[in-house]
């Protein structure tokens, strides 16, 4: 199996999202989450990275802070510091 299911946010109102997977060979992460549609949020996020738009084929995704534990788990339990 090339993709490993890592976990799902326990606070999801419907139990379906956000969810995190990792490709076992490349280490890439795949996330199902909440799309950031709020213009005020985008208007602050993008300039902070020196950007003025989200590139075609990409989207901003929001995930709860307590899901960071899943990234540490996927990284073999490394402490994020």
d(CA 24, CA 22): 6
Alpha-carbon distance of 15 to 68, in angstroms, equals: 18
Q: How would you write the pLDDT of the chain (81 residues) with one tens digit per residue?
A: 699 998 888 888 777 789 989 899 998 889 998 888 888 888 999 999 999 998 999 999 888 888 888 877 766 655 544
Helix (H) / strand (E) element for 20: namely: strand 19-23
Domains of the chain by residue range: 3-74
| Cα–Cα distance measured from residue 25 to residue 36, given in angstroms and rounded to the nearest whole number | 29
Residue whose tokens read 């950031």: 36
Q: Is the pTM of this model over 0.75?
A: no
Query: Looking at the chain, which runs of residues are DSSP E strands?
Result: 3-8, 19-23, 29-32, 34-35, 61-62
């Amino acid at each position: 199996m090339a993709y490993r299911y890592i976990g799902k946010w326990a606070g999801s109102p419907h139990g379906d999202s956000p969810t995190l997977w990792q490709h076992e060979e490349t280490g890439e992460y795949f996330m199902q989450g909440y799309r950031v549609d709020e213009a005020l949020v985008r208007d602050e996020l993008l300039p902070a990275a020196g950007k003025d738009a989200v590139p075609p084929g990409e989207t901003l995704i929001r995930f709860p802070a307590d899901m960071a534990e899943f990234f540490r788990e996927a990284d073999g339990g490394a402490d994020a510091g």
